[in-house]
Amino acid sequence: MESDHPRDQTVRRIVLPSGKTIEVLRLADQEPAGEESGTTLEPSPGPAVPRTEPAEDFAGADAPSVAAPHLCPACGSSLVYPVAWDAAGTERWSVELRCPNCELTESVLLDLDVAESFDEELERGAETLISDLARLTEANMREHVERFIAALHADAIQPVDF
């Protein structure tokens, strides 16, 4: 696949825990990450926008390491989600988190096992939202159908309504 790109570009394939594969185009003037094409990086902490700065800049930062990234340290909300993330070495992730309740944003370092459990927590939350959306959509449609049937029985629908 690299033959499809000029020699000053390389393509890295990253396999996310969800099974999706993404390709990252790296220009020659960027520092190499030291990893070959086809490398699997795990875990991906969910659907968020990756950081633009290199992970090496963050790896030595004084960001706190947390055990429960889905919990807000300020208000206790369990709805904290990742805004941006990047690998910080081989065993950690640097993640920018945001709390939707108190608007707190913070940058933290997550060990791989914590990032994996955070990813699972985000998946559970997404499944809950999808399930709630399906129930709400069904209830709304049921209500629309019942009103339409009532209007038909009341002879309240005229050709001009269409």
Whether residue 60 sits in one domain with residue 11: no
| pLDDT digits 0-9 by tens, 38-82 | 434 444 444 444 443 434 444 445 567 788 899 999 999 999 999
Whether residue 149 sits in one domain with residue 100: yes
CA 138 from chain center: how many Å?
27
Whether residue 144 sits in one domain with residue 125: yes
Domain membership of residue 143 as a residue range: 43-161
Whether residue 73 sits in one domain with residue 53: yes
Residue among 103, 59, 124, 123 nearest 85 (CA): 59
Whether residue 150 sits in one domain with residue 73: yes
Whether residue 150 sits in one domain with residue 78: yes
| pLDDT digits 0-9 by tens, 135-161 | 999 999 999 999 999 999 999 988 888
Domains in the chain, number: 2
Whether residue 37 sits in one domain with residue 108: no
pTM > 0.85: no
